[in-house]
Amino acid sequence: MARLSVYYSEHPEDFHPVPDKLNISFARGKIEWHKNQLFIPLEAPFRPKTADDYSEDIMSVTILLEDLMTHPERPNQFGINIHSVVRRLEKLKYQEGLHFEYSDIEQFIIQMGDIEEIMQMDVKPFYEWR
């Protein structure tokens, strides 16, 4: 199963930690690229992450707003359209001449603002600094 962590940045006015990015980490080769979508619960356990926790050795993919979805039967979850991500990556491979294996990708990174927009709610209280 995926591990969730939240990257916090400092609020520019009072310097308290603000959730900025949601990181979904998988074991190497464990992302199920053949599936249509992946749903993530909003109240899942996570660990806080800071800039020092990022490693250049982990291959990550940014999940964009257009990759996100909701489902009426999953009110406390958001989905990632895996096919949309694969199409974008294939386009990048072709246009930019990138060479990578999907099994090398270990992490999805999503802007908290995009999650808020797709969920049409303020999700930051779910991820208050603990």
Cα–Cα dist 14/12, whole Å? 6
Q: For 59-97, what is each residue's pLDDT tens digit?
A: 999 999 999 999 999 988 999 999 999 999 999 888 888
Please check whether residue 123 is in contact with residue 112, taking contact to mean a CB–CB distance below 8 angstroms: yes
pTM above 0.75, yes or no: yes
What string of pLDDT tens digits covers the 130 residues of the chain? 788 888 887 767 777 777 889 999 999 999 999 999 999 987 755 667 766 666 778 899 999 999 999 999 998 899 999 999 999 999 988 888 888 899 999 999 999 999 989 988 766 566 555 4
Q: Domain map of the chain by residue range?
A: 3-127
Structure tokens at 99: 């060479």
